[in-house]
Amino acid sequence: MNVSTSRIGVVALGEIPELIPLSIAAHIQGMLHVDVDVLTSLPLPSAAFDQGRLQYSASRLLQHLEALSLSPWKKMIAVLDADLFVPIFTHVLGEAQQAGKHALVSIYRLKTQGVDHPSGLSLLMERAAKVALHELGHLYDLHHCTDPGCLMHFAGGLEDLDGALLDYCNYCRIYIRDALFRKGVTTDEPE
Ligand SMILES: [Zn+2]
Ligand SMILES: [Zn+2]
C-alpha cells in the first residue's frame, strides 16, 4: 500500500469480489472529484457475529474499525458480504457513524442475480456504489433527504435503492461538495 494523502479509504472485510471496492472508489472519485484509496482487504471479525440473530452487528463492526484506527484516512468505508443488522431493523444495507469516520456497506442483500452473470455484477456494482455514496453522505453529516430519487433518501430495501438515481439531488450534492471543500478534501469549489 502506498503512503497516501487521500482522506477517504475503502476496505473489504472478508471475501468480496475485487471489483466492488474498486468500483465504489471510482464512483466516489467520479462524482465528488476526490481521491480515494482502496486498501488491502482485512478479515471479517467473527466477534461481530451475533449468535442470536445469525447476522453481523453493525455497531460491533463499527467499533472494530474504530479500534483498528486505520490512518491517515479521515473517512473509511468498509465493504462486506454478510448480513448486517441494527437493533431496530431486521437488516440494513449499510450503516454509518453520523459525521464520524466509519461506514459499512453490505453487498449481502444486493446480489439478486448471480455475480457470475455480467449484468448481475454491474447491477451489484451500481447498488453497492449507491449504498456507499449514501453512507459517505452521513459521514459528511448529511441527513436523509425527502426526494425519493436522491441518494440520501432512506433505502430500507432494494426497491427504494433501485428507485434512487446514482446521484445526489441538487441540494444534497451542494451540501456534500461544500463539506468536502471546507475540510480540504477537494479544492473544487462547489458551484
Ligand atoms: Zn441513511
Ligand atoms: Zn437529496
When pLDDT is cut at 50, 70 and 90, the band that residue 115 belongs to is low
**For residue 165, how far is its CA from the centre of ligand 2 (angstroms)?**
11
43 cis-preceded (ω within 30 degrees of 0): no
**For residue 133, how far is its CA from the centre of ligand 1 (angstroms)?**
10
What is the DSSP pairing of strand 49-50 with strand 102-106?
A: unpaired
What is this structure's pTM?
0.93
Per the DSSP assignment, residues forming a β-bridge with 134 are: none
Q: Give the ligand at the shortest distance from the Cα of 93.
A: 1
Q: Give the ligand at the shortest distance from the Cα of 144.
A: 1
Sign of CA dihedral 144, 146, 148, 151: negative
**For residue 143, how far is its CA from the centre of ligand 2 (angstroms)?**
9
pLDDT tens for residues 148-184? 999 999 988 899 999 899 999 999 999 999 999 998 8
Q: Give the ligand at the shortest distance from the Cα of 165.
A: 2
pLDDT score for 118: 67
**For residue 164, how far is its CA from the centre of ligand 2 (angstroms)?**
10
**For residue 160, how far is its CA from the centre of ligand 2 (angstroms)?**
14
Q: How far apart are CA 25 and CA 94, in angstroms?
A: 16
Counting residues of the chain whose pLDDT is more than 70, the rounded percentage is: 95
**For residue 162, how far is its CA from the centre of ligand 1 (angstroms)?**
15
Q: Give the ligand at the shortest distance from the Cα of 97.
A: 1
Query: Is the model's pLDDT at 78 over the cut of 70?
Result: yes
Q: Give the ligand at the shortest distance from the Cα of 86.
A: 1
Question: Which three cell numbers, joined as nine digits, stand for 130?
Answer: 449507491
Q: What's CA 21's distance to the chain center, in Å?
A: 9
**For residue 5, how far is its CA from the centre of ligand 2 (angstroms)?**
29
Strand boundaries in the chain, DSSP class E = 8-13, 36-38, 49-50, 55-57, 75-80, 84-85, 94-96, 102-106
Mention every residue, 6+ apart, whose C-beta is less than 8 A from residue 127: 107, 110, 158, 161, 162
Contact 156, 168 (CB under 8 A): no
Q: What's CA 144's distance to the chain center, in Å?
A: 15
**For residue 58, how far is its CA from the centre of ligand 2 (angstroms)?**
24
**For residue 137, how far is its CA from the centre of ligand 1 (angstroms)?**
8
**Other residues' Cβ atoms within 10 Å of the Cβ of residue 34:** 21
Contact 41, 81 (CB under 8 A): no
User: Average pLDDT over the chain, rounded to whole?
Assistant: 92
Contact 36, 8 (CB under 8 A): yes
Q: Which residue has the higher pLDDT, 74 or 120?
A: 74
**For residue 152, how far is its CA from the centre of ligand 1 (angstroms)?**
6
